[in-house]
Amino acid sequence: MLRERKQQFLTRLEQLLGAVQESERQEIMSDFESHFQEAYEAGRSEEEIFRSLGSEQAIAREILAQYGMELPSVQEPTAAEKEAGPNAASSDRGASAHSIFTAPPGSRIDSPLRLIRLETDVVDVHLDTHDGEDILYHFDSFDAGQFDVREAREGDIYRLIVQLRRSGMKRFFSSVSGTLHVRIPASFGGSVEMACGSGDAEVRQIRAECFDAELKSGDLTIRDSTCGHITTRMKSGDAELHNCTCVKADLHTLSGDVTIFGLQADEFALRAASGDIELHQLAAQALRAELLSGDMHIVEGQGATWTFTAACGDLELASIAADVHIDVASGSISTRNVCGSLTVLAKSGEVECELASGTRQAALENKAGNVRLLVPSEMQELELEASTVLGAVSVRLPQFPEGHVQTSRFRGRLGENGPKVQLATKVGSISVASI
């Protein structure tokens, strides 16, 4: 697979370099062949190699620029190039041999800013606040000369850009990295944006109207921050939020785990394609979590309406004070101590529910799988209905002695104000027991 993809890459690149004299073009292609082999022998994965290279269009454009040529306008950019964006041109700072870049006093905020934006490439980012009025940063790297570091102020927008240079053939295969440390004024109340190509990002104690982070490859951690709106979009990497407060939170991930401790939000939307989700001590009035593949584990939370949807994976809820709706296509479902209403729709897998004194009502439906209900022994008021098409219903509660005989349908009631519980499965058994 690597050989085939490499050959397609080299063939396309050589076509784009058709304007270069043949002898020099062959030398360039020979260099790329050699460095492909060196990278492979060094143990670099196919994904790492091609991610560091970027698109054929971007490489050809830079090589042609060294010959005073331009890529013909008839050449359409590839989808990969459109996503990666143009490479940065060299700057005076990038030519420095020092390994640390420090922001000059000119970074002081002399007039109100609306937006602070950080753009990085193969760089880890640490974002924090301080009590001063300056935007402070420094960049650490053993290969600092391979990076362009630029800052710009345009009206009420401040930009800080750190990008990897792509000059020279071997440069495309060098494994370089760096760390960007940024501190912004704690008094800043505008918007903060981060666009990271490859690398981890850690954010601490941010106070902003909006925080927007986009990571293509790398982990994101946000701690002790308060924002009006938190938005994250991640392609590959884990996301963690610790002790954060916001009005609205939107987290979108394609591949990676999501772990949240101590989030407070009015609205929280979480969408993940692949990866596990862990939510602890969550307070959200409206929560919607959608997962294609992976497990969900939610412990200690409160709110108004919570909705969980999963295509494939197990789901576990414990100690939740909210109205909960669960829809899982394939996987086991377990709930304990849900205070509110509980609705469970399962197509395949096991369903287990432990009632709590605060459970107002519960409806558990399973298309193909068993349903198990656990009832506190001290519960003296309860309205119970259970039915199965292919299977049996077993009710072993001292409150309902008549339910000890297995049947396909059961109905019983104690008191007048107990929770109404409905259990149903088409293919599977239903069991009700005391705890």
Residue at token pair 């008191």: 415
CB atoms within 10 A of CB 293: 16
Residue 429 is assigned to a structural domain of this protein: no
89 pLDDT exceeds 80?
no
Residue 350 is assigned to a structural domain of this protein: no
Q: Write the DSSP string, 236-261.
A: SS-EEEEEEEEEEEEEEEEES-EEEE
Q: Distance between CA atoms of 25 and 8, rounded to whole angstroms?
A: 17
Please check whether residues 41 and 56 belong to one and the same domain. Answer: yes
CB atoms within 10 A of CB 116: 23
Give the model's pLDDT for residue 74: 40
Q: Distance between CA atoms of 231 and 413, rounded to whole angstroms?
A: 47
Write the CB contacts of 127 (distance below 8 Å, at least 6 apart in sequence).
118, 182, 183, 184, 192, 194, 201, 202, 203, 204, 206
Least confident of 215-229, 305-319, 373-387, 397-411: 397-411
Please check whether residues 167 and 124 belong to one and the same domain. Answer: yes
Give the model's pLDDT for residue 51: 66
Residue 231 is assigned to a structural domain of this protein: no
Give the model's pLDDT for residue 94: 36
Q: How confident is the model over 362-397, as pLDDT tens digits?
A: 999 999 999 999 999 888 889 999 999 999 999 888
Q: Please work out, in degrees rounded to the nearest 5, the angle formed at the alpha carbon of residue 10 by the alpha carbons of 6 and 14.
A: 175
CA 122 to chain centre: 18
Q: Give the pLDDT mean for 306-314.
A: 96
pLDDT confidence bin for 12, thresholds 50/70/90: confident
Q: Give the pLDDT mean for 257-285.
A: 97
Please check whether residues 110 and 70 belong to one and the same domain. Answer: no
Please check whether residues 75 and 125 belong to one and the same domain. Answer: no
Q: What letter would DSSP give residue 75?
A: S
Give the model's pLDDT for residue 141: 85
Q: Give the pLDDT mean for 48-75.
A: 72
177, 159 Cβ separation under 8 angstroms: no
Q: What's the structural domain count of the chain?
A: 2
Domain that holds residue 50: 2-84
Residue 210 is assigned to a structural domain of this protein: no
Both tokens of 274, joined, read 């692949």
251, 258 Cβ separation under 8 angstroms: yes
Give the model's pLDDT for residue 32: 79
Task: Show which of 165, 188, 211 is a domain's final residue.
Answer: 188
Give the model's pLDDT for residue 1: 55
Please check whether residues 78 and 121 belong to one and the same domain. Answer: no
Please check whether residues 123 and 168 belong to one and the same domain. Answer: yes
Residue 162 is assigned to a structural domain of this protein: yes
Which residue did the predictor score with more confidence, 414 or 364? 364
Across 36-45, 343-352, 373-382, the highest mean pLDDT is recorded for 343-352
Please check whether residues 28 and 92 belong to one and the same domain. Answer: no
The model carries a pTM of: 0.74
128 pLDDT exceeds 60?
yes
Q: Give the pLDDT mean for 76-94.
A: 38
Least confident of 97-111, 326-340, 407-421: 97-111
Q: Distance between CA atoms of 244 and 287, rounded to whole angstroms?
A: 15
Give the model's pLDDT for residue 162: 93
Write the CB contacts of 346 (distance below 8 Å, at least 6 apart in sequence).
326, 328, 331, 333, 364, 365, 366, 367, 369
Q: What letter would DSSP give residue 90?
A: P
pLDDT confidence bin for 290, thresholds 50/70/90: very high
Q: How confident is the model over 174-209, as pLDDT tens digits?
A: 566 789 999 999 999 999 999 998 899 999 999 999
Give the model's pLDDT for residue 365: 97
Please check whether residues 58 and 14 belong to one and the same domain. Answer: yes
Give the model's pLDDT for residue 166: 59
Please check whether residues 58 and 74 belong to one and the same domain. Answer: yes
Please check whether residues 61 and 78 belong to one and the same domain. Answer: yes
Q: Kindly state the percentage of the chain with pLDDT values over 90.
A: 58
Residue 271 is assigned to a structural domain of this protein: no
Please check whether residues 92 and 169 belong to one and the same domain. Answer: yes
Residue 139 is assigned to a structural domain of this protein: yes
Task: Show which of 28, 57, 84 is a domain's final residue.
Answer: 84
Strands 430-434 and 393-396, by their bridges, are parallel
Residue 18 is assigned to a structural domain of this protein: yes
Give the model's pLDDT for residue 21: 83
Please check whether residues 125 and 80 belong to one and the same domain. Answer: no
Both tokens of 174, joined, read 């060098």
Give the model's pLDDT for residue 329: 95
Q: Kindly state the percentage of the chain with pLDDT values over 70.
A: 84
CB atoms within 10 A of CB 11: 12
pLDDT confidence bin for 73, thresholds 50/70/90: low
Task: Show which of 54, 84, 114 is a domain's final residue.
Answer: 84
- Secondary structure element (H or E) that encloses residue 229, with its range: strand 226-234
Give the model's pLDDT for residue 17: 86
